Amino acid sequence: MGQEARAIVRAAGACLPAGGLASEDLGDLRFRALMTEAQWAALPLPIRRRFSKQLAAGETIIYVGEVLGTRMTSAGRLLAEAARLIGSPFPRIKSPGTACVVAVTEDRATGGQNWTRLYVRRHGFPQIIHSRKRFAGPTGLEECIGFRIGMALTITVSDEALVFRSAGYFVTLFGRRLPLPAWATPGSLTVTHVEAGDGRFMFTLDVVHPMFGALISQKAVFREAAPDLGG
Per-residue pLDDT, 123: 86
- Looking at the domain 3-224, which fold is it? Lipocalin (2.40.128)
> Three-state SS string across the chain, please?
CCHHHHHHHHHHHHCCCCCCCCCCCCCCCCCHHHCCHHHHHHCCHHHHHHCCCCCCCCCCEEEEEEEEEEEECHHHHHHHHHHHHHCCCCCCCCCCCCEEEEEEEEECCCCEEEEEEEECCCCCCCEEEEEEEECCCCCCCEEEEECCEEEEEEEEEECCEEEEEEEEEEEEECCEEEECCHHHCCCEEEEEEEEEECCEEEEEEEEEECCCEEEEEEEEEEEECCCCCCC
Q: Give the list of residues 6+ apart from residue 161 with CB closer than 8 angstroms, or none.
A: 192, 193, 194, 195
Q: Give the list of residues 6+ apart from residue 75 with CB closer than 8 angstroms, or none.
A: 209, 212, 215
Q: Each residue of 79-129: pLDDT tens digit?
A: 999 999 999 999 998 889 999 999 999 998 888 999 999 999 988 899 999
CA dihedral 75, 78, 82, 87 (to 10 degrees): 90
Is 192's pLDDT higher than 90?
A: yes
Nearest-angstrom CA–CA distance, 44 and 32? 13
Amino acid present at 149: I
Radius of gyration of the chain (CA): 17
Nearest-angstrom CA–CA distance, 132 and 105? 10
Q: Each residue of 204-218: pLDDT tens digit?
A: 999 999 999 999 999
Q: Each residue of 150-184: pLDDT tens digit?
A: 999 999 999 999 999 999 999 999 989 999 999 99
Q: Each residue of 25-36: pLDDT tens digit?
A: 448 999 999 999
Q: Each residue of 39-84: pLDDT tens digit?
A: 999 999 999 999 998 788 889 999 999 999 999 999 999 999 999 9
Residue 133: how many other CB atoms lie within 10 Å: 21
Q: Give the list of residues 6+ apart from residue 119 with CB closer than 8 angstroms, or none.
A: 67, 91, 93, 98, 99, 100, 126, 127, 128, 129
Measure CA 197 to chain center.
Answer: 20
Measure CA 115 to chain center.
Answer: 6
Per-residue pLDDT, 16: 42
Amino acid present at 117: R
